[in-house]
Structure 1
Amino acid sequence: MSNTPNELIEQLCQLASPRKAQSLRLILTICVEQTQRGSSDFSVATIGRLSAERGGPSAAAIRNKPGEDYRALIKTYAASVNGQDRKKREPAPSEAEALLEGVNDPVLKVRVKLLLAEMESLRAQLLAARHLANKTAVLELGLDSGEHVPHAHADGLFLSLQEVTALEAAISPATLEHWGWSIDQAGRVLTETGQVVFRAGFVTAIRKTVQHVADF
């Protein structure tokens, strides 16, 4: 078994046709160039793309069974320089990152981030309230305005006056006017340009929660 890319390519070229030998040497050249430019990406997708641009085998050709020699050469070279012969899977974006992806205005992006931070503490309460509502649980308003964290018990969930007020303030006319936002019929919160700040059902969920508390 060959230990180095140079040893391997010589063995492969001895058994290959002149055309394939030329393609093998092109693949090795591209791998070396990747190292020279400081890249550790030796994935089939990348090497195949660079190869196809220069008339060599494409990524699809390298992946096929006849491309086994190309893959072996790429893998051997990548191992010799501590490179990656497969693309790293990018982590899935968080909900906040996904929300901000379509926001181009830097000022608006900062404002949305600030509002997201403020609303994060309310998220758990909304989810808990929806869960309890689905189970026809009782949602009650606590008497102590100093309570900030909901306390679950056998009969339902307590929300302090301060917490309920915060929910109402999140979609109040004053808040919407301050940020230049509006609410559509589906319960989405939109910017002046129509970008979605909070998806459908956000406003209706808050209103239902506040109304449910008021009924008790």
Structure 2
Amino acid sequence: MNSATFDHPNVLLGTLLAKGGRAHRLARLKALHEICRRHQESGSRDFSLSTIGRLAEAEGVLKGRVLYNMQSADYRELISAWATYAGPPTLRPSKPLASHEYLMRIHDPAIRSIMQAIIGERDKLRAEVNLLKSNAQVVVDRRPIGVRASGDAIALPTTTNGHNAQLTPSEREALGKAVSADYLERHGLHEGSHGEIVNEHGRTVFDVGFARAIRKILGA
């Protein structure tokens, strides 16, 4: 590209028009140049072929797909000059995760910290389950306990309150408060029929069984 195009696309436009050619081509170059000028003055830095093609097509200058043709090198060079003049596109800020937005609505730092740990554990378990689903075949033995072939070990169900013993009184109180109807209502949330936590828009914040799982941990 000519170094002059780094000063202003007007210079390149003059060079392209000086090459001559059919009047229709010259008119298109001028029209495309004007579209790019208005686009740049609007504050946009997006000068991709698809974006400029849509603008040109909307004004009846040319079909957007024409810009990809071999014969449209001059059009692409002009657009490229405007892209250089406008500067690199502004990066869009990354959108925070929905779970993070909900956490920020919890004003009590103790409960927010506990909820954050629970969400992290949930995401970890979900990833492990998805990994198992994709890499393993699970054989479910539906025979009643005790009905096994000779020589098979008999596994009996066990229960444990290990989580209970690990919680401090303040942690137990915070968890109980987090799933209480009054606390949920004050924060625009409510518990669904299957233990899920739902916001005022009907969207699930915490999955099915969440509230029940906390109550089981607390031994309620």
Same fold at TM > 0.5: yes
SS at match of 1:94: coil
SS at match of 1:190: strand
In the alignment, what sits opposite 1:94? 96
Shift of 1:121: 0.9
Shift of 1:120: 3.4
- The whole-number CA distance in structure 1 between the counterparts of 2:44 and 2:108 is 37
Note if contact 1:8-1:73 (Cα within 8 Å) is conserved in structure 2. yes
Q: Matched residues, percent identical?
A: 25
Partner AA of 2:87 in structure 1? G
SS at match of 1:49: helix
1:175 and 2:183 matched: yes
Shift of 1:28: 1.2
CA RMSD of aligned residues (A): 3.8
Return closer, same or farther for 1:186/1:45 CA change in 2, 3 Å cut-off.
farther
Q: Deviations over 1:130-172 (max 9, x none)?
A: 569x8x9984445xxxxxxxxxxxxxxx332211221121111
1:196 and 2:200 matched: no
In the alignment, what sits opposite 2:73? 68
Return closer, same or farther for 1:43/1:190 CA change in 2, 3 Å cut-off.
same
In the alignment, what sits opposite 1:146? none
Return closer, same or farther for 1:71/1:89 CA change in 2, 3 Å cut-off.
farther
Q: How many positions carry a matched residue from both structures?
A: 181
Instruction: Report the TM-score when normalising by structure 1.
Output: 0.62
Return closer, same or farther for 1:9/1:49 CA change in 2, 3 Å cut-off.
same
Return closer, same or farther for 1:176/1:82 CA change in 2, 3 Å cut-off.
closer
Partner AA of 2:117 in structure 1? Q
Alignment of 1:98-117 (within 5 A): 113-115=104-106
The runs of 5 or more residues in structure 2 that have no matched partner are: 129-158
- The whole-number CA distance in structure 1 between the counterparts of 2:179 and 2:26 is 68
1:120 and 2:112 matched: yes
SS at match of 2:77: helix
In the alignment, what sits opposite 1:21? 26
Shift of 1:127: 4.7
Return closer, same or farther for 1:21/1:140 CA change in 2, 3 Å cut-off.
same
In the alignment, what sits opposite 2:138? none
In the alignment, what sits opposite 2:16? 12
Q: Kindly name which structure, 1 or 2, has the bigger radius of gyration based on alpha carbons.
A: 2
Note if contact 1:42-1:83 (Cα within 8 Å) is conserved in structure 2. no
In the alignment, what sits opposite 1:83? 87
- The whole-number CA distance in structure 1 between the counterparts of 2:196 and 2:214 is 16
The runs of 5 or more residues in structure 1 that have no matched partner are: 101-111, 143-157
Shift of 1:73: 0.9
SS at match of 1:115: coil
- The whole-number CA distance in structure 2 between the counterparts of 1:61 and 1:163 is 65
1:56 and 2:50 matched: no
In the alignment, what sits opposite 2:39? 34
Partner AA of 1:114 in structure 2? R
Partner AA of 1:44 in structure 2? L
